[in-house]
Each structure stands twice: as C-alpha cells, then as structure tokens.
Amino acid sequence: MVANAEPAKNQTMFIRPPPRQPKHTRLWLAPYIAIGIFALAMLVVTALLQWREQDTARSALEGDMHWAERTIESRLQSHQDFLSELARDQEFRQLTYESFQVRAGRYVLDHPEISAIVWVDIDGKVEWVSPHEATATFVGEQLTGTRLESLQEALRIRRPLFSPGYPNAGQQLGNDLIFPVQQSRSDIGAFIALQSLETMLRVTLPGSFTARYSLSVVDAQNREVLRNSSIQPTDRRISGTISLDLPNNRLGLNIVAYRAGGAWLPYLPAILIVVLTLIASATLVQLRRHAQHRADTEEQLRTAYAFRQAMSQSMITGLRAIDLEGRITFVNAAFCRMTGFDESELEGIKPPYPYWPPEEFDKLQHNIDTALAGKAPASGFEMRIMRKNGERFDVRLYFSPLIDTDGQQIGWMASMNDITEPKRARVELERAHERFVTVIDGLDTAVHVAAVDSGEILFANRAFQHIFGFDTVGRDSALVTAACRPPPEALFHDPASLGPDELPCEIFDGEIQHALSGHWYHVHERAIRWVDGRTVRVQIAADITDKKHIDDVNQQQQKRLEQTSRLITMGEMASSLAHELNQPLSAIANYCAGCIKRMQSGNYQFDDLLAAMQKASEQAERAGKIIRRMRDMVKKSDPNRQPVPLAELVDETRAFADIEAQRTGTLIEVAIPENLPNIVVDRIMIEQVLLNLIKNGIEAMHNNAFDRRKLFISARRIDERLVEVAIADQGHGLADEDIEKIFAPFYTTKPEGMGIGLAICRSIIEFHQGRLWVEPRREGGTVFRFTVPIEEEDE
C-alpha cells in the first residue's frame, strides 16, 4: 500500500488509536490488597521482634536487679558489721579514740559512700568524728530534727537503724546508719555512719548498669527520695523494683531500663512500613489515575477518530492531504468517489496526478506549485479535473496547511468540492433570472412592488420606469405613482390590515387615468407576501389608452349604428326612392324623346305615337304609385307622440353622445329649467335630432384647443305652445352661404358626411309642427335652435 518508508512516517498522523481494552473490573484492587497484606505481615514481624527484644531486656533487667540487690545489701551489711565491731569494742571499753580514728578512717577511705563515722552520746552530741578532716560533721555538733529522732528511736529499740533521708552538709540526700551501744543495759551512745545513698549506688553499681537503667529510690511511703539524673527516655515496660531491706527502714529501688536507641526507635520499622505502604498506595493510586486518564483519553481519541472517520467518509467534500513535495498522503472516500480512483491508486503519487486531464496539465501544475509555495488563494482554485473514465468535471479546491503536534507543517490539506452542479445551477439560476427580467422588462405592462408599511418600491420593471422614472426603486410608491394611483377608499381591502393568512388578496382592479399624461391604465393590485415576509402591493398597470379608444369607437359605432339605424333607413328609403323613380322617369323620357324624334322627322304613324304616349302615361302613373307608396310608408311610421320631459330626452341622448364627447374631450353643459313643461314628441325622433345636432357641434369643434371644446344645451319656453331648444358650439361657425344650404338634402360641409342629417332633422322637427334653424353665435361658433310643442295644460 505504501510505496516507501517516508510516506509511512508521514502517515503517522493517521494511525489508528489503540484498540479498546477489556474493562478490568476488580483487578485494580489486587495490588492494594497485596500491599496491605505485606504491610500487615511486616508489622506483625516487627512487633514480634520487639516483643522478643523486650522479653530479653526484661530478663537482663531481672538478672541485673538481683545482682544489684545483693551488691547493695552486702555493702550495707558490711557497714552494719563494721559498726557492730566498733560497738562491741566500745561496749567493752577497748576502743580508744585513736584506734577508732584509724579503723574508721580506713573504712571511710575504702567506702566512698560513707562520708564520716561519728560517735554520739545519747543526747545526740557528736563526740568523735572520723576521719577528723571530714566536712560532714564536727565534734560537738548537736544532732537535730530527723537525725535526732532517728537516734532516739535507735536507742529506744536498741537495734541498728537506718534513718530517713535528710539533706546533709553537701546538700545531698544523706542517710545515717545508727548503731546504738549499751553498756550493762544502759545506753552510752551510738555509732553513726553518715552515708549518701546516691554515692553508694554510684559506687556499688557499675557504670554500664547506670547507663542502661534509670534508678530511683523510694521510701516506705513510696515517695521518691532519690533519682539518678538522666533525661533519657525510659521504657516503663522493662522495669522492676528492688526492696532494700535496711535495718528499721524500708527503701525500694526502682529500676527502669532506658529505651534503646531513643523513644521512637522501636517504632521506626513500623513507621517505615506504614510510610512505604502509604507511598506504594499513593503511587498506585496515582498510577491508576494516570491509567484511567489515559484510558479516558484513548476513549476520547477513539470517539474523535470514529467521528472524524465518519465525517471524512460521509462528507461529500473530497479531502486530500499532500506532503510538502506534493505527494498524496491521504484521500477520503468522497475524493475517491469524485475522481473514480481507489485510495491505493492515489496515495504516494506525486504530481502530475492521474486525475489531471492532459489539456489542463499546465494550469494544474501551476496551481499545485502555487499551493505548495503557500500562495493558494483563500477562495481556492477553480479547476477542471478528470474522472477515471475520462469524464471532466469542475471542482473548487481549497488549501490549508497541515500542522503536526509539534507545530511543524508536514503538508497541505486540500478540500475539493464538485461545483459542476452548483455551477450549472448557478448558470441556470442566472439564466432563469435573466429570462425573468427579460420577460418582465419585455412586458409593456408596468409592474412594480411596493412595501405596504413604508411604501418603498422594492421592484419595478422597465415599463414602470419608462412611465414613472428610472430611479424609482427605493423611493416611496405613493409619491412616485401619485398621478396614477387608486384612491385609498377605492381599495377592496386595506392592505396594512391584512393578516398573513389572508394573502394573497386582490385589493384593486380598475381603470385609472394618469393625471399628467392622460393615458388610461388598467390597474390590477394585489397584496402578497414578499420574499422577505413583508406584505407588499403588487401593481400591474397596463396601458389601455389605445384599446380604450378602440373600444370607445367600437361602442360608439355600435350605438351609432343602433341609434342611426332609423336614419339609415330613411337614407336608404331616399336612395331606393330615387332608384325606383329612375325607372319610370327614364322610360317616360325615352318615350317622349322617341315621339319627338318621329314627329320631327314626320315619319310616324299615329297609332305608334299613341301607344308610346299611353306607355309614357303608364310610367308616369307608376311613378305616382311609387310616391304614394312612400307616403304610405311614412304614414305607417307615424310618430308616437307622447308627453315627455325634455331633460329626460337630453339625458338619454347624452348617454350616447358622452362617448364621443369623452373621446374628443368635449364638455357638454346642460341648462334646462326645472319647471319646463313636458313636450309632446316622438321621443326617438327628437333624440335623433338632438344626437345629430350634438354630434355636429362636437365635430365642429374638432380643431379647437381642449379648453375651447364646450357644447351648451339650453331650453326655454317661448310661448304657451312651444319650447325652444338651443345647441350652441364654439366651433368654426358657418359661412353665410352655408346657413341656408345646410338643410338642403345631400349638402354637407363634412368630408365623410352624406348630407342627409340636417335635412332629416328639419323634416322631423317640421313634422312636429316645429322649426329648425341655425344662426351664428355671438361668441363664435354656431347655434342650432328648434321648437317643439308642449303639453296642453288641462283646463
């Protein structure tokens, strides 16, 4: 798998974590138990050893004690014996002062514990002192206190006595061994050996003894009277008491062994053991803690590794690590999937990589060189690479340095995204947007979107901008479209009060005229939810000026057709009359011309002429019949005269005329008195006349400025029979010669006129026993006036 050793080294960063160890449940207790047992055993052994040592020491103590007892007792005994020798000699008066001095002096010299031997009388007065240079006493000294009491006691019981301790001249504890002497049953005095217990103990017991034991002397009341001064600690367990059987006094000697090697020495092993155990335990705990920590870390590592592994495998982003020379050290599954190469086919490969398409070599080599030099752009490289099957696709490659745990850069990590689809999608999106914009801008319908709350224009297409200006986006819709905006009261709903669940909602649909341009717009407005969630008004305004004009014209033509059908019927009637009359008239003319010709030439026969004249007569009769038929027809359509208010007729007529008036921007002003009586007319005929005159008036003002396009309709009663109606325009007026001619049939001043209208109007008015005439208006223009009869008032 790995080509050589070096990549293997680099791969250490991707080695697997240690395998999961089995959970050692109670095993970790074993070392603690072992340590515990060991410590316990050691303590027991130590204790045993100590106990044995103590035992040995006690045995030694006992031996020493007995030895000391004997030694002390024998010493004391020898003192007693010496004193008894002296006493015997005194008793028998054989002892002289000099011998006493010699013997006692010698004895004292041999026994350092005895400071002096004195002879006292029964009253306690010192008579002899040996050695005479002794400092403890002097001749003539009177014994006092304890010493005197002890003397008296000894004299009384006549037995040697060991006095209680007293402080002697050397301020040491002194004891007197008193030996009374009687002569023939009477007391003569006593020999007293002044001795110091302390000195005695020191002299009798060897140094090795006192070095090993602490000694103390207690009296019968167990009061300590003497103690050898040593501050060494003692071991009370190794101790004993010697009872010193002194004459007439009991003293005890307490012996306590000094503790060997100091007070703490016996505990040293135990302490050591405990300390070592504790250290071992602590170490173990520490070790275990470390192991636990390590296990935890390993667990985390494993989790992190698994997580990272899953991440890198599940990721759709291809990952590729290269070392500093560009050798691939790692690729993830996505990278393999993208390129179609196996991990084994890529790892260890140096550039050029197998997925480089040959035609892109130079560019890709340049890219990798840039990346290895650390100059890869943050936005990555966009490049085209090749799958194993040769298919090319677009990717974007991002580089980031790969740092090992020592902070040393060991390579580069590159993440690769397949941008073919995003790129395609982006291009598609751009195209879709372009199409959208093209379509929206291609519309000649103005579309804009404005926020309901702020009125801000969020979107406007080109048509809108053409009408309202090119910098409208972002401005307030209410201001921009003020000239062409449905008034708030015309809206079906207030867009600001619509809830989100009511959207989308139609709020306006109608036609509005642009106040400035005069164009008509079909405005459709809806409230919808905008892409950012706001409620907005979408307004679609289609310019319907032309359509409206066409509609108006169509409608107007339709109305005119309906309204003037009767007119046309009359016109056709006239035309048909003309044609019908043509035939007989032409025939008559022919017959007559033929007769004239024949009679002129003289070449005729009477019968022929007669026949021709008869035929001509017949044709004349035929013509007469035609006329009669026409008259019959007119009679048949005898007007249906009824009383009707003039204002109503004018209103109805205006309904038709308004179309034309609005188209041309003509204002029609009507002034009809309210108290005007009803007129008795055929309403359709009079409407016809009105319509005709209004239209003529409008057409007459065709070339006027907009502010001079006004038509006035007025009426007044002129007498008890007639009402006069006037239709005045501000048009070009009529030439004098036209004034009478305009009522002639087939006369017209209009380019496309038939010349029938006014003729028929005059006929209709005359038919109603009225009159139609025209006169110039003083202010310019023309006034047509006609009269019609009014309803006869009931008497």
Instruction: Among 268, 593, 610, 718, indicate the residue that binds other proteins (CB under 8 A).
Output: 593
- For 162, 673, 716, 768, 793, the CA distances from 720, given in Å and listed in that order, are 192, 15, 11, 16, 9
Interface with other proteins includes 610 (CB under 8 A)?
Answer: no
The bridge status of strand 679-682 relative to strand 224-227 is: unpaired
List the structure tokens of 700. 């007459």
If one asks whether residue 439 binds other proteins (CB under 8 A), the answer comes out as: no
**Closest distance of CB 637 from other proteins, Å:** 23
Q: Is 585 in the site for other proteins (CB under 8 A)?
A: yes
In the complex with other proteins, the residue whose CB is nearer, 473 or 592, is 592
Q: Does 616 engage in binding with other proteins (CB under 8 A)?
A: yes
| Residue 620 lies near other proteins (rule: CB under 8 A) | no
Q: Which two tokens stand for residue 407?
A: 């902070």
User: Does residue 583 belong to the site contacting other proteins (CB under 8 A)?
Assistant: yes
Whether the CA torsion 324, 326, 332, 334 is positive or negative: it is positive
In the complex with other proteins, the residue whose CB is nearer, 496 or 627, is: 627
> Closest Cα to residue 595, out of 580, 616, 578?
616
Beta bridge mates, 303? none
Residue 570 touching other proteins (CB under 8 A): no
Closest distance to other proteins from the beta carbon of 581 (Å)? 8
The single residue among 245, 345, 552, 618 that binds other proteins, judged by CB under 8 A, is: 618
Of residues 381 and 591, the one with the C-beta less far from other proteins: 591
Give min distance, CB of 592 to other proteins, in A.
Answer: 8
Size of the site for other proteins (CB under 8 A): 24
Q: Minimum CB separation from other proteins for residue 753, in Å?
A: 15
Looking at the Cβ atoms of 341 and 591, the one nearer to other proteins is 591
**Which has the closest alpha carbon to 772: 780, 782, 781, 761?**
761
For residue 745, state whether it binds other proteins (rule: CB under 8 A).
no
**DSSP assigned state of 745:** T
Q: Count Cβ atoms within 10 A of the Cβ of residue 130 and give its class: 0-12 exposed, 13-18 middle, 19 or more buried.
A: buried
Q: Does 588 bind other proteins (CB under 8 A)?
A: yes
For the record, the structure tokens of 396 come out as 């974007």
Q: Scanning the structure block, which residue is given the tokens 């991002």?
A: 398
Which of 588, 686 has the CB closer to other proteins? 588
| Contact flag: residue 584 with other proteins (CB under 8 A) | yes
> 208 vs 601, which CB is nearer to other proteins?
601
* CA distance readout (Å), 200 to 112, 114, 197, 513, 786: 7, 8, 5, 150, 186
Q: Which is nearer to other proteins, 99 or 583 (CB)?
A: 583
Strand 710-717 relative to strand 667-671, pairing: parallel
Which window, 54-62, 147-155, 610-618, 644-652, contacts other proteins (CB under 8 A)?
610-618
- In the sheet with 318-323, reading across from the earlier edge strand, the strands are 328-331, 318-323, 409-418, 392-403, 381-386
Min CB(749)–other proteins separation in Å: 21
Using alpha carbons, list the distances in angstroms from residue 723 to 263, 683, 776, 786: 158, 15, 20, 8
Contact criterion met (CB below 8 Å) for 182 and 91: yes
* Residue 589 in the binding site for other proteins (CB under 8 A): yes
Give the helix ranges, DSSP H, for 187-267: 197-204, 207-212
Rounded to an integer, what distance in angstroms lies between the CA atom of residue 757 and that of residue 574?
A: 12
Stretch that binds other proteins, among 56-64, 211-219, 575-583, 671-679 (CB under 8 A): 575-583
Residues between 265 and 284 that touch other proteins (CB under 8 A): none
According to CB under 8 A, which one of 493, 597, 629, 631 is a site residue for other proteins?
597
Does 575 help bind other proteins (rule: CB under 8 A)? yes
Out of 43, 413, 587, 726, the residue judged to bind other proteins by CB under 8 A: 587
**Residue 58 touching other proteins (CB under 8 A):** no
Binding site for other proteins (CB under 8 A): 575, 578-579, 582-591, 593-595, 597-598, 612, 615-616, 618-619, 622
